[in-house]
Structure 1
Amino acid sequence: MVVGKADLHNHTTASDGTMSPATVVARAKAAGLAAIAITDHDTMAGVEEAMAEGSKLGLIVVPGVELSTVADGRDIHILAYYPDCQDNKWQERLAGLRATRGKRNEMIVERLVQLGIAATMEEVEQIAAEQMRAGGGTSKGKTIGRPHIAELLIRKGVVATMAEAFDRYLAEGGAAYVNPPRLHPFEALEWIREAGGTSVVAHPGLYGRDDLVEQLIQKGVQGIEVYHSDHGPEEEHRNAELARRHGLIMTGGSDFHGERQGKVFHGEIGSRTVDLAVLDQLSNKR
């Protein structure tokens, strides 16, 4: 039996992480992991580099992506594992999600300007490019997200920390929060199925909507991310029981985004893991 631990939720410079795919893989190897999944937001641009580094270091790299969806005005993220990266329709759909994400970024910046904060998308794009170069990443297929806007707010002295930027402006309820129409999670499940992947509800404990998770289960989602850096013991227990009751795969991961201002977001690589056997479950459910 193959043994070891896997961290199945990690971000790189291909989206809003601060470290290149190769660096993230090397960090996972140094942490003693046997496998890691690369799950950037709405892009698989970092997977090829990560898999190449994994081959060199003897670490399994699971190809994945975290899809941005909205249901009842609430952000719901769906993880896809092992989709066919060569599927043109799948890649076109991911490009469409990135375009919607770009529109959302523009709307946030417009809201900031209305609040009297001098900000432009050009400045946000410059920060994203700087972080990409610093992390050694690639710009092809890269996504820009709220952490890049948060960094701009810090540089302008509007806020002192990333957490303050989200609390005051960017998170749900914040002064500049916007949520335009986006892909519905039910449709995301169908996209993942058509691309030959396995679907998992990301960090369900953050939504406060167990009814939505139940609806996703009824629509055929194949797994639940039980273990996550922002889940406490209560969330882990509740979602583990839910997964057991419905015979779903129980996954877990750190949701590592790298370091900003010397602080790791959301958790360090390897801080939340599952047994390597879960990879077989994800692969067999395809």
Structure 2
Amino acid sequence: MAFADLHSHTLASDGTQAPSENVRLAAEAGLAAMAVTDHDTVAGLTEAIEAGRKYGITVVPGVEISTVHEGKDIHVLGYWIDYTNELFLSRLAEMRRVRDRRNELLLAKLQELGVHITMEDVQESLLVSKKAEETIGRPHIADAMVRKGYVSSMKEAFDRYLAQGAAAYVNTPRIEPAVGVRWVLEAGGTPVLAHPGLYEQDDLIPLLKSVGLVGLEAYHSDHTPEQEAHYVRLAEEHGLLVTAGSDFHGERGGVVFHAPIGARKIDASVVERLFERRGAQSSDENS
């Protein structure tokens, strides 16, 4: 069988490796296909697709859109998007501006808690300088906290300060998941709900299906076996495709986040099915 890992991050967002390196690792893992799904940016896709030709692996152009529902972060994956679509690019740029504001508020809250980290510290801890179309996220802030000795590990940074419900967590107003689904469809792509087990808001699934959601990422590195089985069942009940992703972010401090490429994978035939359900086709089915 041929397999695909449909969730990975690169230096364009909060991963630690160049897009081409992710593709190389996917090829080494024996995958037939993989997706690059950086947070609110498509800056790494051209390099990844070119590397796919070199390594003989299908690279699905993707993105992970940050949304909020009832105060909780919800992520919408988009596959087979037209990553040159000007409207979509402008929408992602606005999402990055919201993310920048979130980072400012988070750093201010850390200062109040006695953790004196500035954006200059975060910039200094980056593996490469960020371009305007790339994103800075909480893992970059966590890196700076480790480097300055406020915490001993990325995990401690998130557990104590950065994760939802932790001391410095902030959440700025963002679009609803249904809007994220619509954006993906309007960019000619196929929307999938990322790692639903992390939200435990299963009532969202029929709501998002009604506006064009095509799949659930049932197999994810942070899901338990019970959660994976649960979301496979829900996908079947709602007529949704099942996808899988490692959510690979590279290595920090000798620890791979969340898991190596290929740690979660699905039959590569789902790649073609995602392609067939993209954009107008999905919208027509739900109109």
TM-score by length of 2: 0.94
8 A Cα contact 2:4 2:268, kept in partner: yes
Report matched runs for 1:272-283 at 5 Å: 272-283=264-275
Paired residue type of 1:146: R
Paired residue type of 2:106: I
Q: Does 1:179 align with 2:175?
A: no
Cα distance in 2, alignment partners of residues 116 and 262 from structure 1 = 27
Query: Which residue of structure 1 aligns with residue 58 of structure 2?
Result: 60
8 A Cα contact 2:64 2:75, kept in partner: yes
8 A Cα contact 1:82 1:283, kept in partner: yes
> Which of 128, 138, 144 matches 1:132?
128
RMSD of equivalent CA atoms: 1.1
Secondary structure in 2 matching 1:132:
coil
Cα distance in 1, alignment partners of residues 83 and 21 from structure 2 = 21
Which is worse superposed, 233-242 or 115-124?
115-124
Cα distance in 2, alignment partners of residues 198 and 277 from structure 1 = 15
Cα distance in 2, alignment partners of residues 199 and 168 from structure 1 = 33
Query: Which residue of structure 1 aligns with residue 82 of structure 2?
Result: 84
Q: Does 1:213 align with 2:205?
A: yes
Query: Which residue of structure 2 aligns with residue 231 of structure 1?
Result: 223
8 A Cα contact 1:9 1:254, kept in partner: yes
How many residues are treated as equivalent by the alignment? 278
In structure 1, list runs of 5 or more residues that go unmatched.
none
Cα distance in 1, alignment partners of residues 212 and 52 from structure 2 = 31
Query: Which residue of structure 1 aligns with residue 42 of structure 2?
Result: 44
Which is worse superposed, 249-258 or 113-122?
113-122
Indicate the percent of aligned positions where both proteins have the same amino acid: 53
Q: Displacement of 1:140 after TM fit?
A: 4.9
Cα distance in 1, alignment partners of residues 3 and 128 from structure 2 = 28
Report matched runs for 1:1-286 at 5 Å: 3-128=1-126, 131-132=127-128, 139-286=131-278
Secondary structure in 2 matching 1:9:
coil
- Show CA shifts across 1:99-126 (max 9, x none): 1111101110000011112111121122
Cα distance in 1, alignment partners of residues 132 and 263 from structure 2 = 29
In structure 2, list runs of 5 or more residues that go unmatched.
279-287
Cα distance in 2, alignment partners of residues 262 and 115 from structure 1 = 28
Cα distance in 2, alignment partners of residues 83 and 19 from structure 1 = 22
8 A Cα contact 2:7 2:37, kept in partner: yes
8 A Cα contact 1:6 1:35, kept in partner: yes
8 A Cα contact 2:216 2:242, kept in partner: yes
- Show CA shifts across 1:31-88 (max 9, x none): 1111110000000100000111110111110000000000100000000001111210
